[in-house]
Structure 1
Amino acid sequence: MENFSPSDLKAILHSKRANIYYLEYCRIMQKDGRVLYLTESTKENLYFNIPIANTTVILLGNGTSITQAAMRMLAQAGVLVGFSGGGATPLYMGCEIEWMTPQSEYRPTEYLQGWMKFWFDDAKRLTAAKAFQQARISFLQKVWQKDRDLKNEGFDFNSEQIQSALDTFHTRTGAAKKQSELLLTEAQLTKALYKFAANSTNTTNFTRQHQSTDLANDFLNHGNYLAYGLAASCLWVLGIPHGFAVMHGKTRRGALVFDIADLIKDGLVLPWAFICAKENATEQEFRQQILQAFTDHKALDFMFDTVKSIALADELGADENA
């Protein structure tokens, strides 16, 4: 089989790529110009192809190994790799705190340069943080008003409970003078959304616990880490380091990944975690559902559009005033 060049492997834009993989108890290798994973059974060994040109992220769970040749091909295709525990959580290791990122220097520079224009100014960074908060609500509204399955499960954006929580959120976000106030407002909204989701799915005595073993918390953790993978991929493609956060503080090197993942977590991960827990879904069923939801609602596209618009906001404003 003829080998692909790196330019061929990058033919599909990252924002349009469809696949995220979580693999466990297998060996990942390069064979005949392709990246495969091998699973071992008592009777036979089975090989499965990974379509790396259409893949954004691979999470390696328990019992996995990967060859140097496979990593070289994944890097050429611009696929991010993370090492995690069972069920994709927690994430153990990656070069950029969160992920092992391909070492390509041929990425755009305008987005990092645009980000730096505002990032060192406290007032402008706060404005960017507020833009992120407004964007996450816009995405939640778009998803919940469009998705029939969510509506059938009781996730009605126009419900009195949701609108009351959002009224408070918008008022406090607009009045916030520093990031800590935004984080407090965000936490209060998320708590209200958890309560709404628990009521909609008849989940009793729910408390958000990252170390919990109940299904809703497990699925929230799992879905959030998949969202982190999309966010890390978005930042890598645009050439923005993970440390330049606008919400989660300047002391956490991976914080911008969390900022960007938050754009889609409330709209997609939160409701489906509760719905799948109510249905007693398996980990694989939840993963398939949430990844399909990411694709259906163009979550990665939304991340790219939001980050690019904020990065170039000052530049665009200058053009308009010229």
Structure 2
Amino acid sequence: MEALTDLKAILHSKRANIYYLEKCRIMQKDGRVLYLTEEKNQNQYWNIPIANTTCLLLGTGTSITQAAMRMLASAGVLVGFCGGGGTPLLMANEIEWLSPQSEYRPTEYIQGWMQFWFEEEKRLEAARAFQQQRIKFLQQAWKKDRDLKTEGFSITDPTLQTALENSLKKINIANNVGKLLQAEAELTKQLYKFAVRITGYSDFTREREAADLANIFLNHGNYLAYGLAATTLWVLGIPHGFAVMHGKTRRGALVFDIADLVKDALILPWAFICAKEKSTEQEFRQQCLQAFTDHNALEFMFEQVKSVALKDDWEKRGVPCPSIEALPVRQ
């Protein structure tokens, strides 16, 4: 067995790569993690830069060796088995994540989370904070993204501004999670209508099982956002079941809560733009990953989760919330 290569620690919030692989074999070779594609006349090996990777989605026709899993775990890479295009074959709402195990994961965030989670009023306040930040992130992203502006997704549109203002008012006065969920759903429907009008994508109805490009791209992009959210929670050591909004029936619902911070701002517009242009799934996926990078989506998730987890503790101390330190990589 080759010795593990020395890895330079990169903060998870700063990592650049999400990989979706299919019809290949993932293995460890010469201290690196590679994937092998089999062609008629030759086999080709491709390197996966694990130290700069947040999560790895394994689609149809993939296999992975124990040695490769050991290296991925040492680098803190989240690995998930999924169906074609990044969505599950059998499970409609979640990917089964294989979480790397590490004794170096922090405890302060789960401790802070549990201080408020058992109190309904504080869970509501956390959910409200996430929804407020969701709207703020959309406003900031659409304001500075030149490509979205070129496509017509302008934050100055009067209809859009009215929808965001009304949604924010409902969020601020919501006295239970049910009303927050209702406000969230209403805003998303209005954003769908806005995107349909801007892109001219006619006859759209949001259905997860629908076969039109916009619905396919929305499903695909949402699972990329779920990957970022799951990575954020794993690094901070917060179990996925301690949700503040979607926790009634979904075991990993906190992933959905955190993914909602960026889905409407980044996934929704590009799903409709790429559907209008009849892009391939690979082209759409690349556009989403570029949007995540351009708008620091993963870093934004980290900031919001840390802020909520440590709110009471750090307000008492009267000092700003610290940045998470780089997690040591055990060789």
User: TM-score range, shorter-chain basis?
Assistant: over 0.9
Write the distance in 1 (CA, Å) between the matches of 2:212 and 2:295. 27
Any residues of structure 2 matched to 1:311-322 within 5 Å, and which? 311-320=309-318
The Cα offsets for residues 39-97 of structure 1, whole Å up to 9 and x where unpaired, read as 0111111100000000001001111111111111101110001111111012768xx96
In structure 2, what residue type is equivalent to 1:39?
Answer: T
Write the distance in 1 (CA, Å) between the matches of 2:248 and 2:231. 20
> What is the match of residue 139 of structure 1?
137
Among 24, 31, 35, the residue aligned to 2:29: 31
> What is the match of residue 9 of structure 1?
7
Structure 1 residues 42 and 214: alpha-carbon distance in aligned structure 2, compared to 1, 3 A threshold? same
In structure 2, what residue type is equivalent to 1:155?
Answer: F
> What is the match of residue 17 of structure 2?
19
Write the distance in 2 (CA, Å) between the matches of 1:100 and 1:39. 23
Deviation at 1:250, TM superposition (A): 4.2
CA contact (8 A) 2:79 2:98 kept: yes
TM-score (norm 2): 0.93
List structure 1 segments (4+ residues) > 4 angstroms apart after TM superposition: none
> What is the match of residue 196 of structure 2?
198
Deviation at 1:251, TM superposition (A): 3.8
The Cα offsets for residues 135-190 of structure 1, whole Å up to 9 and x where unpaired, read as 11111011000000000101011211111111221111111111011001100000
Instruction: Mark the runs of 5 or more structure 1 residues left unpaired by the alignment.
Output: none
CA-based RMSD of the aligned residues comes to 1.7
> What is the match of residue 296 of structure 2?
298
More off after superposition, 166-175 vs 263-272: 166-175
CA contact (8 A) 2:81 2:95 kept: no
Write the distance in 1 (CA, Å) between the matches of 2:67 and 2:15. 22
Structure 1 residues 310 and 199: alpha-carbon distance in aligned structure 2, compared to 1, 3 A threshold? same
Write the distance in 2 (CA, Å) between the matches of 1:221 and 1:92. 14
Among 220, 230, 233, the residue aligned to 2:231: 233
Any residues of structure 2 matched to 1:61-140 within 5 Å, and which? 61-90=59-88, 98-140=96-138
Any residues of structure 2 matched to 1:162-177 within 5 Å, and which? 162-177=160-175
Write the distance in 1 (CA, Å) between the matches of 2:90 and 2:290. 25
Instruction: Mark the runs of 5 or more structure 2 residues left unpaired by the alignment.
Output: 320-331
Write the distance in 1 (CA, Å) between the matches of 2:65 and 2:110. 32
CA contact (8 A) 2:82 2:95 kept: no
CA contact (8 A) 1:245 1:259 kept: yes
Structure 1 residues 174 and 278: alpha-carbon distance in aligned structure 2, compared to 1, 3 A threshold? same
Structure 1 residues 104 and 91: alpha-carbon distance in aligned structure 2, compared to 1, 3 A threshold? farther
In structure 2, what residue type is equivalent to 1:189?
Answer: L
Deviation at 1:2, TM superposition (A): 7.5
More off after superposition, 228-237 vs 167-176: 167-176
In structure 1, what residue type is equivalent to 2:258?
Answer: I
Write the distance in 1 (CA, Å) between the matches of 2:240 and 2:266. 23
Report how many aligned residue pairs link the two structures.
317
